[in-house]
Amino acid sequence: MDYSFKLESKMPKKRGLITDTYKMVRKEKKTKQEEDEEKAKEEVARNLEIERKQLESNLEVLKQFDLFWEYGPCIGITRLQRWERADILGLKPPVHVRDLILKHKDDPLYLQRRAGRLYLPR
């Protein structure tokens, strides 16, 4: 009996590499200028996020100052006027609140108490 097999005929043909079927597409390399522009955009986005978080933090401090009734009523006057009145009356308001208000004295978000929800610029 002859038990010899022809394995070559029963095995499928070798197909080759996947890159023979699907050609590789190389991405274009970015130029130095494009890389610099991308880094600059990321830096701007990072700085805006830091500024937004700082604004939220500052406004939270001012909100807490508004909620402390021990410094007197806050209706009809600015935060700075309320702070000065509390200081004259010897109520010892936090100095960092005054510094924060004076640092941003031209920004209405820092000067006046806002009723309702505060919408921050994005």
* pLDDT one-digit tens code per residue, 21-40: 777 778 888 888 989 999 99
Domain presence at residue 122? yes
Mean pLDDT of 66-83: 90
* pLDDT tier, 101 (very low <50, low <70, confident <90, very high otherwise): very high
> Which is more confident, 11 or 59?
59
Number of structural domains (the chain) is: 1
Q: Is position 95 within any domain?
A: yes
pLDDT reported for residue 12 = 59
Domain span at residue 94 reads: 38-122
Of 34 and 11, which is predicted with more confidence?
34
Inside any domain, residue 88: yes
CA–CA dist 81, 65 (Å, integer)? 13
Residue 42 exposure: Cα atoms within 13 Å on the Cβ side: 6
Is 11 within the bounds of a domain? no
**Is 2 contained in some domain?**
no
Residue 10 domain-assigned (yes or no): no
Mean pLDDT of the residues in the chain: 83
Query: Cα 57 to the chain's mean position, in Å?
Result: 13
Would the pTM of this model clear 0.85, i.e. be above it? no
Neighbours of 62 (CB within 10 A): 20
